[in-house]
Amino acid sequence: MQRPRTLTVRVDALARVEGEGALHVRVRNGQVHELRLEIYEPPRFFEAFLRGRRFDEAPDITARICGICPVAYQMSACNAIESLFGLSVKGPIRDLRLLLYYGEWIESHALHMFLLHLPDFLGYESALHMARDHPEWVQKGLQIKKAGNALMARIGGREIHPINVRIGGFYSVPSRRDLLEHKEELARARDFIVEALRWMAGLEFPDFEEDYEFVALYHPEEYAILEGQIRSSKGLLVPVSGFEEVFEEFQVPYSNALHSIVRGRGSYMVGPLARFNLNFPQLTPVAREVALSIGLTPPVRNPFRSLLVRGVEILHACEEALRLIERYEPPDRPWEPVEVRPGTGYGASEAPRGILYHRYRIRADGLIEEAKIVPPTSQNQRRMEDDLRKLVPRLLSLPKDQITWRCEQAIRNYDPCISCATHFLRLEIETG
Amino acid sequence: MARRRKPKLAVWKFASCDGCQLTLLDCEDELLALAGEIEIAYFLEASRAIVRGPYDISLVEGSISTPEQVEQIRKIRRQTRFLVTIGACATAGGIQALRNFADVRGFLDLVYARPEYIKTLEKSLPASAYVPVDFELRGCPIGKGPLLELLSAFLNGRRPSIPNHSVCIECKRRGIVCVMVAQGTPCLGPVTQAGCGALCPAYRRGCYGCFGPMETPNPTSLGNWLLARGMASPDLVRLFRTFNAYAPAFKEAGERYAEAADVDRSS
């Protein structure tokens, strides 16, 4: 019989994630003795310097929390502030927001699937290494990504930190012809992703399942992305304003990002798997059909299969984008005017990585008095550790470098955005 | 003739949003060709493979905001032949440099649950505050075009052709109607470095200065013009204090109008 193993797995700088994190695992006699996902990315104190800024600056400032999902920040900020001011954006302006957000989902998911996650399944250090043997898939992945980026650039002005979003809508809107130009590229991306999904379904997925509490927004009329209520697979259903009552954040000594749990229960998962499992009936018929045909039947409890679920969401996003473009007629005016109402506004949207929550307290003069932001990666942090705690004991027969790689892959299942996760640490500054 | 060794590229991250290094991965049509010309030796966002230094070119993203980062940027400088800062954080301290304006006393009032766990410097500063920098790429974020121009110039041993005139010039070249003249919208275009293609005016909003100050700008002239047309000083201060708030010209302008705002309040 093999002796129970004792070893330390240490990854000082996690690769193929956004931001800076490390992993530390100590196994003694076959038991996980210590496990820490250490987020050492320095805090940037966004919530502190949002104080005293005017409400209409929040979308541009919070976008800078993350270069990968700036639209998520802009949308959650608009959401929170507009709900306080009693504005609900409808019609073509709302469609444009959806289009911009679908562009981000396509871009961010394709980046993660093809360039960051897929190399793990094929045993490559990076997509550039992978491109030597599989140039066609890297090329197709890049083309899908480009279709998302092009849509973002058209509506938002640029892909990273779009400049065209404002409270109430946009500074200016595209013409119908502008948007029709994207149809071909989006249709091609849609075809590529279906092809890729059929191929990727045949990859080897580690046998690992967990009984997660999945948490995602729920919207009665669509696969929630822009707004909705908070729902979980263990029975939660609350409006966004109840977020802080349901979830509890706390600090751990080894991470610059707060951990989050469901009060009284424990860790939970946000992101593609949670959305897919909770809102499956609202995916487009083709997305549902492709999902079922490659063996994705909700609930999917294997986090490694998030690779495929992201692909299904890309497919959904391409199809929905094509539908919205088809019905688009420019609005009479690019934005709805707003009137400042003092009070507290709550907003959330589905960033590519999961629920992104914003809360703002705004004064009668329009200045922000207090801001709180809870990004998806910080919510998933505890869940990532829980996955690793379960996974590591099963890997102990492997050589150490394989254990390390598999742990990294398990973290990448969550597409962690560490830059996001770190920026909500609060620093209070007296401004006199 | 034997082919010359491919130059080694490293991409480094400090306090930032990852957007500027993402710009490299956003070069969807050029990425694989680029990887054929240059060895991507260290780029954690894209690869777990690490090739040791020295590096021919380092792209540095993010501002220096912790004691460890000060050591790290010095180490990178020692290992690098050509060091380029990419974006507003590495070049001017970024949005997080807004903390530099806070009263130092305020730092005693940290309200983390456990502030002792967090290490941070009082100021968020550009790389150039600690090491010599060979070239700066501006923007929040940088643009794909200028990044490719920089790399191509580097590969060909020439100076990158990056404009240092104002956004106004770009705007005029594109034939965009001036948002200040036509709509009365405050715009930092006259004092901001070009490079974005006058993006904001093209979308009918005022420039918010994400490429930082142009060479020899005159922010006082612009500021006074805006004040004369009814802008309140606190609004003007905020206009200068965003993503390049600690770039010298914007910093001075912000401080000048902040003093004016204080005078207004006390009078």
Reported as a single tens digit per residue, the pLDDT across A199-218 is: 999 999 999 999 999 999 99
Which residues are registered as beta bridge partners of B63? Answer: B15
Residue A432: pLDDT band (50, 70, 90) is very low
Looking at the DSSP assignment, which residues form a beta bridge with residue A356?
A349
Q: Which residues of A touch B35 (CB under 8 A)?
A: 128, 131
Nearest CA in chain A to B93: A44
End-to-end CA distance of chain B: 77
* B126 and B221 within one domain: no
Which of A17-26, A364-373, B166-175 shows the lowest mean pLDDT across its residues? A17-26
Q: What's the DSSP call for residue A242? A: G
When pLDDT is cut at 50, 70 and 90, the band that residue B2 belongs to is low
The answer to whether residues B117 and B41 belong to one domain is yes
> With the C-alpha atoms ordered A126, A128, A132, A136, is the resulting torsion angle positive or negative?
positive
Q: Which domains, ranges and CATH numbers included, belong to chain A?
A: 46-422 (1.10.645.10)
Residues B29 and B131 in one domain: yes
Predicted pLDDT at B116: 55
* Claim to verify: residue B13 and residue B118 sit in the same structural domain: yes
Give me the number of domains chain B comprises. 2
Residue at B2 is within a domain: no
The three-class DSSP label of residue B95 is helix
Final residue belonging to a domain, choices B104, B120, B155: B155
Residue A242 CB-density burial (10 A; 0-12 exposed, 13-18 middle, 19+ buried): middle
CA dist list (Å): A217 to A94, A210, A214, A272? 17, 21, 10, 11
Residues B13 and B138 in one domain: yes
> Three-state DSSP class for A262?
strand
**How close does chain A come to B69, measured CA to CA in Å?**
9
- Helix ranges, chain B (H): 19-25, 31-37, 67-79, 88-92, 144-155, 167-174, 179-183, 199-202, 219-228, 233-240, 248-266
CB contact under 8 A, A149 and B28: yes
CB contact under 8 A, A18 and B45: yes
Mean pLDDT on A409-427: 75
Residue B78 lies in a domain: yes
Domain that holds residue B111: 8-155
pLDDT > 70: percent of chain A = 96
pTM strictly above 0.90: yes
- Write down the number of H helices and E strands in chain B: 11, 5
Q: Which residue of B has its CA nearest to A18?
A: B45
Residue A363 sits at the chain B interface (C-beta within 8 Å)? no
**Which residue from A minimizes the CA distance to B115?**
A427
Segment A87-97 shows an average pLDDT of 97
Write out chain B residues lying below 8 Å of A19, CB-based.
13, 18
Report the chain A residue with the minimal C-alpha distance to residue B33: A128
**Do B85 and B42 lie in a common domain?**
yes
Q: Could you tell me the pLDDT band of residue A1, with boundaries at 50, 70 and 90?
A: very low
| Domain match, B54 and B92 both | yes
pLDDT of residue B117: 55
B103/A429 CB distance under 8 A: yes
Per the DSSP assignment, residues forming a β-bridge with A8 are A26
Pairing of strands B135-137, B80-86: parallel
Residue B110 has pLDDT above 60, yes or no: no
Of residues A45, A76, A49, the one with CA closest to residue A63: A76
The dihedral through the CA atoms of B256, B257, B258, B261 has a sign that is positive
Same domain, B80 and B105: yes
Q: Is residue B160 part of a domain?
A: no
Alpha-carbon distance A166 to A58, whole Å?
Answer: 9
Q: Using an 8 Å Cβ cutoff, are A359 and A344 in contact?
A: yes
| pLDDT single digits (tens) A306-316 | 999 999 999 99
Nearest to A348 by CA among A229, A263, A235: A229
A128 in contact with chain B, both atoms CB, cutoff 8 A: yes
Q: Is residue B112 part of a domain?
A: yes
Tell me what pLDDT residue B103 has: 58
If asked whether residues B151 and B185 sit together in one domain, one would say no
Q: B65 and A44 in contact by Cβ < 8 A? A: yes
Please say if the pLDDT value at position B105 is more than 50: no
**At A405, phi and psi to the nearest 5?**
-60, -45
d(CA B119, CA A312): 41
Is B260 domain-assigned?
yes
Quick check: A413 and A380 in contact, CB under 8 A?
A: no
Q: What are B240-252's pLDDT values in tens digits?
A: 999 999 999 999 9
Q: Is residue B1 part of a domain?
A: no
Same-domain pairing of B185 and B69? no
pLDDT band at A395 (very low <50, low <70, confident <90, very high): very high
Q: Is residue B161 part of a domain?
A: no
Asked whether A72 and A104 are in contact (CB, 8 A), the reply is yes
* CA angle (A65 as vertex; B103, A430 as ends), nearest 5: 20
pLDDT at B99: 87
On whether both B115 and B219 belong to a single domain, the answer is: no
Q: What is the value of ipTM here, to two decimals?
A: 0.94
Specify if B162 maps to a domain. no
* Residues in chain B closer than 8 A to A145 (CB atoms): 26, 28
Distance between CA atoms of residues B72 and B55, nearest Å = 15
What percentage of chain B has pLDDT greater than the value 90? Answer: 83
Burial classification of residue A210, based on how many CB atoms lie within 10 Å of its CB (0-12 exposed, 13-18 middle, 19 or more buried): middle
Write down which residue in B155, B177, B209 finishes a domain. B155
- How does DSSP classify residue B213? B
- Non-local CB neighbours of B179 within 8 Å, separated by 6+ positions: B185, B187, B200, B201, B204, B205, B206
Size of interface A-B (CB pairs under 8 A): 191
The domain boundary residue, chosen from B110, B131, B155 = B155
Edge to edge, what strands does the sheet with A229-232 contain?
A: A215-218, A229-232, A237-238
> Would the CB atoms of A160 and B22 count as touching at under 8 Å?
yes
Judgement on whether residues B60 and B115 belong to the same structural domain of the protein:
yes
B53 contacts B72 by C-beta, under 8 angstroms:
no
For residue A18, what pLDDT is reported?
78
**Quick one: angle between helices A135-156 and A91-110, nearest 10?**
150
The CATH number of the domain holding residue B130 is 3.40.50.700
